[in-house]
A and B are shown apart, each in its own frame.
Chain A
Amino acid sequence: DAKTTQPPSMDCAEGRAANLPCNHSTISGNEYVYWYRQIHSQGPQYIIHGLKNNETNEMASLIITEDRKSSTLILPHATLRDTAVYYCIVRVGGATNKLIFGTGTLLAVQP
């Protein structure tokens, strides 16, 4: 599986967009980019995933560069409840039983 690199921490002002970067320069053609978050030691929660096209759902947007070597998770209007550790995971599509987590990015949303 491709390795991912994320900044250890980021701050964001409440109401502003939070942009969380992820580098995955060794990603293979059949590997998807998944994002999960973990709020205060609860079980991780799925956010979004994509292969090569940009994706948007009710929680967030995922922007994947054309060469697929990096991606950005966008929370359009961050709230205090979005404070969490965000994990970027690269995985063969459908292999949701074998997720390999790194240390993620701690996003702190400030009032």
Chain B
Amino acid sequence: NAGVTQTPKFQVLKTGQSMTLQCAQDMNHEYMSWYRQDPGMGLRLIHYSVGAGITDQGEVPNGYNVSRSTTEDFPLRLLSAAPSQTSVYFCASGSRGVNTEAFFGQGTRLTVV
């Protein structure tokens, strides 16, 4: 199993550009989430989804859009990148149930100049 796959691993954007961070999982998980991690800090939740067609906002949703058209994919869109969005982005997936865990991708390191 590939698990949770994020692409690209690294990206440099200019202020005002748009881009989509890709996240795919092959474990048939209902839950998927996006987090950002700034230097010296823990992860902060951006958006999450409990299933195809259902998304909701996390702690820091401003400047980001998401959609969930399939169970496998959960892309994160930056419509107009800003330097404050320079961060490492992690995607995670998990299944329903009490005794479950979240599986994380290896991250996308984004720099906005």
Which residues of A come within 8 Å of B, CB atoms? 32, 34, 36, 41-46, 49, 87, 93-94, 96-104
Residues in B whose Cβ lies below 8 Å from that of A93: 98
Which residues of chain B from 75 to 100 have any CB-CB distance to chain A below 8 Å in the complex?
88, 90, 92, 94-100
- Count, chain B residues at interface, CB 8 A: 34
- In the complex, the chain A residue whose C-beta lies closest to that of B59 is A100
Identify the closest chain A residue to B42 (Cβ): A101
Report yes or no: A99 in contact with B45, Cβ–Cβ below 8 A: yes
Q: Report chain B residues within 8 Å CB of A99.
A: 33, 35, 43, 45, 92, 102
Closest 6 CB pairs of A and B: A43-B104, A101-B42, A97-B31, A96-B94, A46-B101, A93-B98
Q: Is B2 an interface residue (CB 8 A)?
A: no
Residues of B within 8 A of A (CB): 4, 31-33, 35, 37, 40-45, 48-50, 58-59, 88, 90, 92, 94-107
Q: Is the CB of B100 within 8 A of A96?
A: yes
Q: Is the CB of B104 within 8 A of A45?
A: yes
Give the residues in chain B near A44, CB-CB below 8 Å.
Answer: 43, 90, 92, 102, 104
CA distance A36 to B94 in the complex (A): 14
Chain A neighbourhood of B41, CB < 8 A: 103
Contact status of A98 and B33, CB under 8 A, knowing A87-B42, A103-B41? yes
Contacts of B43 in A (CB 8 A): 44, 99, 101
Are B100 and A94 in contact (CB-based, < 8 A)?
yes
Cα A47 to Cα B97 with chains together (Å): 17
CB <8 Å contact, B48 and A97 = yes
CA distance A97 to B43 in the complex (A): 13
| Contact in complex: A97, B32 (CB < 8 Å) | yes
Give complex CA distance A93, B32 in Å: 16
